[in-house]
Amino acid sequence: MTAPTRMVRFLDKAGALAWGHSAVGSSVATMITGCGPHRPGAARSLLITDPPQSVEIGTVLPPTPVPPAVMCVGLNYKKHALETGHPAPLHPVVFYKNPSAVSGPFDSIVIPKICKPDTEVDYECELAVVMGPRPCRNVSKEEALEYVLGYTSANDVSARRWQGKKGGGQWSFSKSFDTFCPLGPGLLMAGTGVDPNNLGIETRLNGEVVQSSNTSDMIFDVASIISFLSQSTTLLPGTVILTGTPEGVGYARKPEPVFLQAGDVVEVEVEGVGVQRNEVEAEREGPEEPAKVWSHGKNAWIHP
C-alpha cells in the first residue's frame, strides 16, 4: 500500500463522512486506511486501501474538523508589508481566529450584520498548516516540519472596519466571524516532497486576479513560524496555522480600496491544493443555526 499525497475530507453521496486520496479537480477519491492524528504515528502511517476502493465525492468539507486553535501570522510577506507601509517585523506577528470561523471550501462567506453600515470585508489568500498527531512544544526550526500533518489553503477573511476603525487593534475579533476562514479543498501531506516555502498562491475576485505571489516571499518560513509559536506553548494536534497573505489585499488597493459585496465570488488557490470558491452573501436578520461545519464530525479526524 502507498501513502496518500493529497487528501480530501468529504461526505459521500450517501452522506457518510470519509477521507480519501484524490487528485485536484477529481470527483472521485480512493479511500484511506489509518487512524486519526490523536494517536501516535498516525500522520506517517495513513495508507491508500489495497486493493483501491474508490468512492464518489459528494460534499467537500474543510480538510480538518473544527480545530482546537486557529493561530495566524500577519505581515509575513515582504511585498505585503511594503504595500501597507509597515516595516518587516522582527518576530512573527501573532493573532487568533475563533475556530468556529472555519468553513468549507465551497461554503458562502457571510458578511456579518455587526459590520454595517460600511462593511469593509476583505479577502486574504494564505497557506495554512495543519499540525499532526503529536503535541508540539519548544521545537527547533530544524525539527518543526516533523510535526506537520499537511498543508492547505485558507482565506483569512477580515472585517477591516472592526480591525482598525472601531477601537483599533481588534485583529482577532475582526477575523473571527462565522465563515471567515474557508479551508481546502485538499490537504497536501507533509513528508511527500511538498516544499511549503515554494508554492504559488492566488486570489481571484469575480474572475479577476487580485493577489498572485509565491510562498517564497514570506518573511518567516513555515518551520520558523512553527518553532516560534511552540515556545513555551503547546500546539495541540489539529491546530491550524495561517502563515500570512501576499500583496494585493482589498483595503490597500489603489486608487480605491476594494471590499467584498453580496453576490461576489472569491476564489483562493494554493498550488497543488486546488481552488476554493466561495460566494459572498449578507447575513440574514433573525436567529440562525451555527455554522454547518460543526455538524460534520468535528472530532472525527480519519474514518477507520
Q: What is the pLDDT of residues 137-196, one digit of tens each?
A: 999 999 999 999 999 999 999 998 877 665 556 778 889 999 999 999 999 999 899 999
CB 285 within 8 A of CB 53: no
- pLDDT of amino acid 3: 83
Residue 242 three-state SS: strand
* C-alpha cell read off for 19: 477521507
Instruction: State yes or no: pLDDT of 1 exceeds 90.
Output: no
Condensed to tens digits (0 to 9), the pLDDT of residues 195-236 reads 999 999 999 999 999 999 999 999 999 999 999 999 999 999
Instruction: State yes or no: pLDDT of 297 exceeds 50.
Output: no
CB 200 within 8 A of CB 151: no
Bridge partners (DSSP) of residue 57 are: 12
The model's confidence at residue 295, banded by pLDDT at 50, 70 and 90, is very low
DSSP string covering 198-225: S-EEEEEETTEEEEEEEGGGBSS-HHHH
Condensed to tens digits (0 to 9), the pLDDT of residues 222-273 reads 999 999 999 999 999 999 999 999 999 999 998 999 999 999 999 999 999 9
Averaged confidence pLDDT in the chain? 88
Burial of residue 2 (CB within 10 Å: 0-12, 13-18, 19+) is exposed
Condensed to tens digits (0 to 9), the pLDDT of residues 100-140 reads 999 999 999 999 998 887 779 999 999 999 999 899 999 99
